[in-house]
Amino acid sequence: MVTIIISYNHITIMIRILIAILMTTFSVVNAQESLPKKLSTLFSGKNKIVLVAAHRGDWRHAPENSLQGLKNSIVKGYDIVECDLKRTKDGELILMHDKTIDRTTTGKGKPEDYTLEEIKQFKLEDATPHATIHTIPTLKEFLKLAKGKVIVCIDKGFDYFNEAMKIVAELDMQEQIIYNIPCITLDSLKSLNLNYYNDHLVLNVLGLPLDTAAANKIANSYKSRGNTILHPTFNNDTIPFISWMRKVKTMKLGLWLNALWPEHDGGHNDDRAVEQNDPDGSWGWLIKNGATIIQTDRPQELLTYLRNKKLHP
């Protein structure tokens, strides 16, 4: 006969472990449920929340398009992490913005010059630039880490739509993806017969024309579909198109505005908000003119601003 003695301290430790497991499970399930809801609020027509899109991840504190940048973005509570795709010699989709790996890694040449195994030998560089311990992630690695935690916007990836969406489908992540597409009408998009496309996938239509009639044609083609974001850039804030942007919400479409550089937003950019201490003249102006998503290189400062304005939970 074996006698088992369990002390009060052991019971306390076991209870704490069980609570931690349950809390972690609840947090993951809750996040998975909230991500589709967070996206769907963009298309209600009454949405007052502005989402923060971290451009190439948290690149001021980690290499751009890196798993570490993604981890930082999740911990800091950003809504969307934008990433870019390229393909290796052996057909693997990796995260890379430029046509070459020269600027962001310790290597040289084009991604398609290397197999995945070869390209993984190089290290990502930070913004200074100095080599880090991080390597170029695959899209699958990136999505696995993001699953249930943050919305992923796939940019510079339309050429790889079928391959990328196959991975998204395998991971059952379609409801937390925004896919950037060229500025074409819905009929033109459907004529391409893309694999894995359906009306639940959130599309982000890039380069919306600044002529209001042309913009209306594009917008109206997606109006009945829903789940669509319009993404214009403009270097002048006095054109008639600016007034037109305010109507997008009434069409139950999202409006993605960039705060990255002055040529994207008529001078209402991140540096104006942070370095010139004029967030109302920058982010506030974008919101006043219809933004439901702001893509930024200053995600932490933008998130704080939105919360102070009660525009973000």
pLDDT value at position 21? Answer: 38
Q: What is the CATH number that goes with domain 34-83+149-308?
A: 3.20.20.190
Distance of CA 251 to the CA centre of its chain: 22
Backbone CA torsion sign across 55, 60, 65, 66: negative
- Per-residue pLDDT band for 36 (boundaries 50, 70, 90) equals confident
For residue 5, is pLDDT > 70? Answer: no
pLDDT tens digits for 142-188?
999 999 999 999 999 999 999 999 999 999 999 999 999 999 999 99
Known catalytic residues are 55, 97
pTM for the full predicted model:
0.89
CB contact at 8 A, 75 and 84: no
pLDDT at 3: 47
Stretch 13-37: mean pLDDT: 50
278 has pLDDT over 90: yes
Query: CA 218, 211, 200 angle in degrees (round to 5)?
Result: 20
Element spanning 85, H or E: strand 80-87
Please report the pLDDT score of residue 46 as a whole number.
Answer: 84
pLDDT at 273: 98
Picking from 198, 205, 308, the residue whose alpha carbon sits closest to that of residue 251 is: 205
Q: How many Å separate Cα 57 from the centre of its chain?
A: 8
Q: Check pLDDT > 50 for residue 25.
A: no
Angle 139-146/161-170 helices, nearest 10 degrees? Answer: 40
58-62, 98-102, 114-118, 182-186: the lowest-pLDDT one: 58-62
The pLDDT of residue 4: 45
